Amino acid sequence: MTSRFVEEAQREFLDAISEYEKILPGLGRRFKEEIDRSLSWITDQPELYRPRPGSHRRINLRVFPYYIAYVVRRQTLWVLAVAHASRKPLYWISRRGEVV
């Protein structure tokens, strides 16, 4: 299975890396590494996390206050959002329609 980001999720991911790097050099890299580990984990076991209303799934990061919202279509895991856990819940929900 491969993983892909919808455009807005990719932008969120890169923006978060940049913001963490401004706070402390190297922190953005640590954020990226945690996202990469989480993506590797869910790509290998996409059904592990329960479906939420609307059929998306979500994995919370362990260190950073973010989560990855995703759906699986055919053999692709689509990242819908790299979202801060305490800001604007479900602002990204309309992105589910972008994935075929």
Least confident of 24-28, 33-37, 51-55, 69-73: 51-55
Residue % of the chain over a pLDDT of 90: 71
Judged against a pLDDT cut of 60, whether residue 100 lies above it is answered with: no
What are the chain's domains?
Answer: 2-86 (3.30.2310.20)
Question: pTM value?
Answer: 0.90
How remote is the C-alpha of 22 from its chain's centroid?
21
Q: What average pLDDT score do residues 60-73 get? A: 95
Q: What average pLDDT score do residues 86-99 get? A: 79
Residue 44's pLDDT is what?
Answer: 93
In tens, the pLDDT along 44-58 reads 998 989 998 878 999
Give me the long-range contacts of 81-86 (CB less than 8 A, separation at least 24). Answer: 81/8, 81/9, 81/12, 82/5, 82/9, 82/12, 82/13, 82/16, 82/35, 83/12, 84/16, 85/60
